[in-house]
Chain A
Amino acid sequence: QKEVEQDPGPLSVPEGAIVSLNCTYSNSAFQYFMWYRQYSRKGPELLMYTYSSGNKEDGRFTAQVDKSSKYISLFIRDSQPSDSATYLCAMSPFYNTDKLIFGTGTRLQVFP
């Protein structure tokens, strides 16, 4: 089983739709969970991070972590064409490591 799994998409939605992006993971040591956005030919850019289980909201974005199911989600409300990008989940255990484990990314296309 892969350490982090993410549906590669592509996911194509109309403007204004609610988008749900998901990752599953196998390592129960993961404590920090992040979502990055990557535009074409750019580096990843941090959107949100969450520690342990729970929800976190930032504007149109909501991150959810369910550690019991080893499942994390990113919801985008009122999606905009400018949200079109690849969304990467990433994780890190609590113990002392510099290494982030990334998912393969989900490509999202929001059409007007």
Chain B
Amino acid sequence: EPEVTQTPSHQVTQMGQEVILRCVPISNHLYFYWYRQILGQKVEFLVSFYNNEISEKSEIFDDQFSVERPDGSNFTLKIRSTKLEDSAMYFCASSEVSTGANTGELFFGEGSRLTVL
């Protein structure tokens, strides 16, 4: 069964360092998303991406965040200068249809846990 894969599963970094989280969405999906979940809190939307550009972003997704689809398979989230409060589980998701967010037909990866010290 096709799945969304994420790397690394866990990354520990020092405050102020740059981090890149990688995702390989399901191959025929065209819509990509990043969500995050701070420990003990709810899953929160960060950004959606389609046709090589950001479709929508939340207020959390400030200038220190960026997303990129560098090739035909990877989708990355970069945090330029990490802060303690960026410590969270980051989930990548993909969808075949544009209404994926409306119908919940998002397929999530297992997440990348980021720990900022």
Binding site for B on A (CB under 8 A): 4, 31-32, 34, 36, 41-46, 49, 51, 88, 90, 92, 94, 97-105
In the docked arrangement, what's the CA distance between A105 and B102, Å? 19
- Indicate whether A100 sits within 8 Å of B42 (C-beta atoms), given known contacts A32-B104, A43-B108, A46-B106: no
- A44–B43 contact, CB under 8 A? yes
- Indicate whether A46 sits within 8 Å of B56 (C-beta atoms), given known contacts A98-B48, A105-B42: no
Known: A46-B107, A51-B103, A98-B56. 9 other contacts (CB 8 A): A32-B103, A90-B43, A97-B101, A98-B33, A98-B100, A100-B35, A100-B45, A100-B101, A100-B106
> Does B20 reach chain A (CB closer than 8 Å)?
no
> Does B105 reach chain A (CB closer than 8 Å)?
yes
In the docked arrangement, what's the CA distance between A51 and B105, Å? 13
- Indicate whether A49 sits within 8 Å of B104 (C-beta atoms), given known contacts A43-B110, A102-B42, A102-B43: yes
Of residues B45, B48, B91, B109, which shows the largest number of chain A Cβ atoms within 10 Å of its Cβ? B45
Of residues A41, A49, A99, A104, which shows the largest number of chain B Cβ atoms within 10 Å of its Cβ? A99
- In the complex, which of the residues B43, B55, B107, B110 contacts A98, with contact meaning CB atoms closer than 8 Å? B55
- A45–B43 contact, CB under 8 A? no
What A residues does B102 contact at CB under 8 A? 31-32, 92, 94
Q: Give chain B nearest CB distance to A15 CB in angstroms.
A: 27
Of residues A36, A43, A51, A102, which shows the largest number of chain B Cβ atoms within 10 Å of its Cβ? A43
Instruction: Name B91's closest neighbour in chain A (CB-CB).
Output: A43
Binding site for A on B (CB under 8 A): 4, 31, 33, 35, 41-45, 48, 55-56, 58, 91, 93, 100-111
- A104–B110 contact, CB under 8 A? no
Q: Pick 24 A–B contacts, CB within 8 A, sort by A.
A: A4-B42, A32-B104, A36-B104, A43-B4, A43-B93, A43-B108, A43-B109, A43-B110, A44-B108, A46-B105, A49-B105, A90-B43, A97-B101, A98-B31, A98-B33, A98-B48, A99-B56, A100-B101, A100-B104, A102-B42, A102-B43, A102-B44, A104-B41, A105-B42
